[in-house]
Structure 1
Amino acid sequence: MPAQTIPAVAHYECAPETKEDIEYAAVPIIDFTNAHTPEGRGELAPQVRDAMRTHGFMCLVNHGVTQAQNDRMTDIADVPFSSVPAGEQAQFASRTKELGELQGYKPRGSWHLDNGVRDQIQHYMVVHPVFEQQHPKALHPFLPEIHAFMEHNQFNIIYPILRMLALGLELPEETFVDLHPFEAKGTTLHEEEAKTKNVWMKGHTDTGSITLLWSQPVVALQIMSPDGKWRYVRHVPNSIIVNAGDTMEMLSGGFYKATIHRVVQPPRDQRGHTRLSHFYFAYADADVRLVPCAESSVLQRVGITRKCRDEDAPTMRTYRTMRASMYGNSEVERKDNGVEEQVVGGVVVKHYN
């Protein structure tokens, strides 16, 4: 985590918590205190397995980052937006549409939502290795802290989760860890700011294996519950919302569910506030082919659900870059139930508008 001598940064004042009566989703809360020992993971593995199989979502507490350290990262997450002039931001714009690259700024209005409406989400992506990426000058003093934060996410949170997901499939504990080296391109810290009305980001599943969303007070995240109804995710201070993505669903043969989620307008008493968030996206190594771990005795008992034939399965690199370049930029086929479909690398990807 951050070194003892750290540069000063302006404090970001988060929005007050909502006081409105809201119907929240049932998200399992997992105490991560003992997740770093084989015995602790063995005890937690059934909880993690059931959470990610039934809900595809869970909430982590006692994850090794203090509230003060979390607040510090929130302050740093605001730097790319509050301390970098628009002209300098343009110099670090991502080339997502052209090349499927995620690093740098995604400007507002990059994605088409519906009926000519463009998004109002801005984010800044930091891609490992942090020090090889070009960054705005204002962010340079904080790169060591960002790197340390990414390491903590990968080694102390992502890897224990991957180990427990492997145990849930009765696979060797390191099965998924071996597919997710920290050196893999595509591991990102995502900092987001959004100001708009109604749906901010339509229903979707994430591309990677596991997404970590460090909870913040603006209640705007909704998940599609098992009964098909959209429900808000409750803010738990200093917690992490964890969800599975398409990659984990494909690697697990459909056993773990890629969670359908969206971002919408918050409750009335939070409207007008910025939703500033920091995320961590974990991807498999670029050359990993996204086929089920068919050697799992669990999958041999319950069966495998594939998104495509094994011989047609894309690599992580192909799937990640194609999804990044196509989202909000290409034609979709709209079904009668409002679901939109795209074919990405031979895999049908659905959006819930």
Structure 2
Amino acid sequence: MATMENKAVPKWEPPATTKENLDYIDLVNLDLSKFENPETRKELAREFFTAFTQDGFATVTGHGISKEVWDTQMDLANATMTMDPAAKVPYEVTPEEDKQGIYVGFKTAGGLGFHKEIDFYNMLLSDPKVDRKHPPHLVPHYAETQKVMLYIRDVIQRKFLILLAMALEIPEEALLRTHEPGQSSSEYYRYMSYAPLTPEATRKARGLFMPAHADWGTFSILFSQPVCALQILHKSGVFKWVEYKPYTLIVNIGQALELMTGGLFPATIHRVVTPPPDQVNSLRVGIYYFSRPNDDYTLLPFEDSPVLEKLGKDKPLDSLATYNTVQFLEAKKHGYLKPDLDFDRPRENGVHSDPFREGDTFAPTDKLLATIAVKTIS
């Protein structure tokens, strides 16, 4: 991938890595350079199956994003997230777009469900507004940023879909048709930051930046970042830390793919917590890509997969509530399949607060899709 000169944007200085002895999870690494050879691709497909059916998370190397492009994107992400709050306002999502589920621009300052210290800037791959305005420092670099977005979609995601087809023993065209370019209105690229919480906010939120949850879509792709805060619910029932590995992608499965595979590929429960003591005062800047199926795609198990049929995963997880992608995201916004999974945190009335479920109108399920039994909307 081509690089670009970046004179107008300050160089991002990554925080020092933690020296704390954390309980890290041991994730399968997928080396995408194996994809090019037909024989090693088969090996990669087996690793893909293992990683995402057992852990739901994997690290990814051999992805083709150069260090120069990676560093430039981190420079841009940091410059975007450290803008003066007043300068961000013209680029916030409008109330009208927010109601339509258009995930674009900065989040509304003080919006429901997030600490005020959390902020993000979303860029849609298929933006209905052709003359979308972006912050001035980003404008000269937006074309190159779009190339990165499209590379993730058209190269990295495409490889994931083909590996999934191999794992399910169905034609790759069947998988690729579920993610046709331009057919998702909610597939986006995100710059995000977590500013240090005050001691009082940390206490009230039980040490959580983001509660335990599962993502909505098919694949969530994160640029690994040096400030440790991401934790994954291990199959042992314990939350484990994700270790920082430079220039490595971290990928997880979302609920849409869980529905599409009858629970064989489970959406992984994860959360964002207060960083370890030697990083607790660092700004955590990240880059994310959220993959979604086509808007009109019905989220049911793939037909004609001998693997799903053999394993008994060819039946809908919730036969009473079938959604396409747009309908599912709307239901998720209001609390469908969004249980409280932070079972290991104290909750004293009058002491702790939970801003994360504000605005929910659907009754939450007891548990999470295939991970536990599904309960329909009340």
In structure 2, the residue matched to 1:99 is: 100
Q: What TM-score comes out, normalization by structure 1 length?
A: 0.87
Distance 1:91 1:349 in 2: 40
C-alpha RMSD of the superposition: 2.6
Q: Is the 8 A contact 1:108 1:121 kept in 2?
A: no
In structure 1, the residue matched to 2:122 is: 125
In structure 2, the residue matched to 1:140 is: 139
Q: How does 1:200-349 map to 2 (within 5 A)?
A: 200-304=209-313, 306-309=316-319, 312-324=321-333, 328-331=358-361
The superposition leaves residues 39-66 of structure 1 with CA deviations (integer Å, 9 ceiling, x where unpaired) of: 4322210100111001111000121112
Identity of aligned residues (%): 27
In structure 2, the residue matched to 1:167 is: 166
Aligned residue identity for 1:224: L
Q: Is the 8 A contact 1:214 1:279 kept in 2?
A: yes
Q: Is the 8 A contact 1:101 1:324 kept in 2?
A: no
Aligned residue identity for 1:246: Q
Query: CA 1:7–1:316 in structure 2 vs 1: closer, same or farther (change >3 Å)?
Result: farther
In the TM superposition, residue 97 of structure 1 has moved relative to its aligned partner by 5.2
Q: Is the 8 A contact 1:110 1:328 kept in 2?
A: no
Distance 2:21 2:48 in 1: 29
Q: What TM-score comes out, normalization by structure 2 length?
A: 0.82
Aligned residue identity for 1:232: W
Distance 2:12 2:233 in 1: 31
Distance 1:348 1:283 in 2: 24
- Structure 2 spans left out of the alignment, 5+ residues: 336-356
In the TM superposition, residue 275 of structure 1 has moved relative to its aligned partner by 0.8
In structure 1, the residue matched to 2:44 is: 44
Q: Quick check: 1:72 aligned with 2:72?
A: yes
Q: Is the 8 A contact 2:102 2:185 kept in 1?
A: no
In the TM superposition, residue 333 of structure 1 has moved relative to its aligned partner by 5.1
Distance 2:4 2:283 in 1: 30
- Structure 1 spans left out of the alignment, 5+ residues: none
In the TM superposition, residue 81 of structure 1 has moved relative to its aligned partner by 2.4
Query: CA 1:91–1:66 in structure 2 vs 1: closer, same or farther (change >3 Å)?
Result: same
Distance 1:270 1:215 in 2: 16
Look up the SS of the partner of 1:277 in the other structure.
strand
Distance 1:71 1:134 in 2: 24
In structure 2, the residue matched to 1:23 is: 23
Aligned residue identity for 2:111: S
Distance 2:17 2:362 in 1: 37
Aligned residue identity for 1:29: N
Runs of 4+ in 1 over 3 A off after TM superposition: 1-8, 36-40, 324-328, 331-335, 339-342, 347-350
How many residues in Structure 1 have an aligned counterpart in Structure 2? 337
